[in-house]
Amino acid sequence: MAARALNANATLLARAEAVMPGGVSSPVRAFGAVGGGPPFIVAGEGPYVLDAGGRRYVDMVCSWGPLVAGHAHPAVVSAITAQAERGTSYGMPSPLEAELAEAVVAAYPGVEMVRFVSSGTEATMSALRLARAATGREAILKFAGCYHGHADALLARAGSGIATFGLPDSAGVTAAVARETVTVQYNDLAAAARAARERALAAIFVEPVAANMGCVPPEEGFLAGLRALADETGALLVFDEVITGFRVARGGAQERYAVRADITCLGKIIGGGLPVGAYGGSRALMERVAPLGPVYQAGTLSGNPLAMAAGLATLALLDAAAYTRLEVLGARLGEGLARAARSAGVLARVQRVGSLLTLFFTDRPVRDDEEARACDRARFAAFHRAMLARGILLPPSQLECLFVSLAHDEDVLDQVTTAAGDALAEVNE
């Protein structure tokens, strides 16, 4: 069975590599950081995915975050199916957009108006344009290891996908663009303050819980400090909640840490597994966006009715009990992995915020990108392969988070920790 699975996946990879760079549509899927080829997925159900060779895995990637309800949740599937029967795209407004916008506005007190786009990248790129237009300034501050999509200005020291391939930046980004992006280490408020006082910043971009250098929580006072710094210097504070939005709380990191952003970027969960992004802020800010204002931004499939329907169905599942459940499940997995590492005698630590977590191969707290990169990534790669062999699909990089969904019940998570115990013992041999 395992050999057949390998063959089917290897054959598909060779076929894809002939016609697609790396055989993939997004670089980290190529498994460059862990070796071996990726499984080619043909189906997902609840906490599981099935590959082309017929092998089933517990899926801890969950499409990198959108699938907070697991794969093919019946309510989400039926919302998509019902909408598809009424048409897949209109190129005109539909009532679903206002309904999803109302749900976002209700959950994020700093958001009075929302614009839907088709990806997180578009959300952050558009937020950047809006911030520049609103402030009349060009430079921005971001934190090393935070990923805000692949727009030129936001690619500087941009976290997992880039770090995994050892590229400091991306080729093709002009020096002029790079000069306008100042980067300091995450959780380093003093460095952020120096940068913000030296340069007139249009915006301070941050992942309020960093999830693209593994899971790195904001230290006490970091987010509030950025809020104060933005107020002091006239920069706009942009929270990239593409991962944390509707995940670490319904109101995202802004609710969890009680800090309000000027512009909020969303994606992933609000599309329920279909392509979506959104950015929003105060009415005064958002009225600068076309057609009301001069900041141009548009999209053929923006506000796509299938994506809106999937998002609405997903948000309908996320009541207070769901967040309590995500917390309980995240804690169970985190504690299980930490226990597994201890009993295998492996130096490792779990960092977790709700249902986002990372097992770092280090004995010290990881507070920023430098510390994340200093972890034993070769050992992570061996662990990843050992887990895959045991039917557990982890994100293929030390610098990523595991995503727990509502479909991962205690039994499934215990299966993951049991496999981790064996896998850690194996990599420690």
Ligand X SMILES: Cc1ncc(COP(=O)(O)O)c(C=O)c1O
**Catalytic positions, written as ranges:** 147, 240, 268
Per rule CB under 6 A, is residue 143 in the interface with ligand X? Answer: no
Asked if residue 255 binds ligand X (CB under 6 A), the reply is no
How far lies 358's CA from each of 311, 331, 369, in Å?
A: 26, 12, 14
Report if residue 149 touches ligand X, rule: CB under 6 A. Answer: yes
Identity of the residue, 147 or 383, whose beta carbon is nearer to ligand X in the bound complex: 147
**Which position among 59, 97, 240, 255 is part of the footprint of ligand X (CB under 6 A)?**
240
Q: Which is nearer to ligand X, 141 or 340 (CB)?
A: 141
Residue 243 interacting with ligand X (CB under 6 A): yes
The CB-of-244 to ligand X minimum distance in angstroms stands at: 8
Under rule CB under 6 A, residue 147 binds ligand X: yes
Cα–Cα–Cα angle for 208, 402, 313, rounded to 5 degrees: 75
Quick check: 121 binds ligand X (CB under 6 A)? Answer: yes
Q: Which of 203, 236, 242, 382 binds ligand X (CB under 6 A)?
A: 242
Buried b (16+ CB within 10 A) or exposed e, 9-44: beebbeebeeeeebbbeebbbbbbbbebbbbbbeeb
Question: Does residue 254 touch ligand X according to CB under 6 A?
Answer: no
Residues 6+ apart with CB under 8 A from 236: 131, 134, 135, 202, 203, 204, 230, 262, 263, 285
Q: Does 417 bind ligand X (CB under 6 A)?
A: no
The gap between the terminal CA atoms of the chain, to the nearest Å, is: 26
Considering the complex, what minimum distance in angstroms separates the CB of residue 265 from ligand X?
Answer: 7
User: Which member of 212, 264, 302, 398 binds ligand X (CB under 6 A)?
Assistant: 212
Tokens representing 147 are 């990923």
Find the angle CA(306)-CA(307)-CA(309) to the nearest 5 degrees. 65
Least gap, CB of 274 to ligand X (angstroms): 11
The owner of tokens 């790195």 is: 216
Residue among 121 and 264 whose Cβ is closer to ligand X: 121
Angle between helices 410-427 and 320-344 (to 10 degrees): 20
Provide the binding-site residues for ligand X, judged by CB under 6 A: 64, 119-121, 124, 147-149, 207, 211-212, 240, 242-243, 267, 277
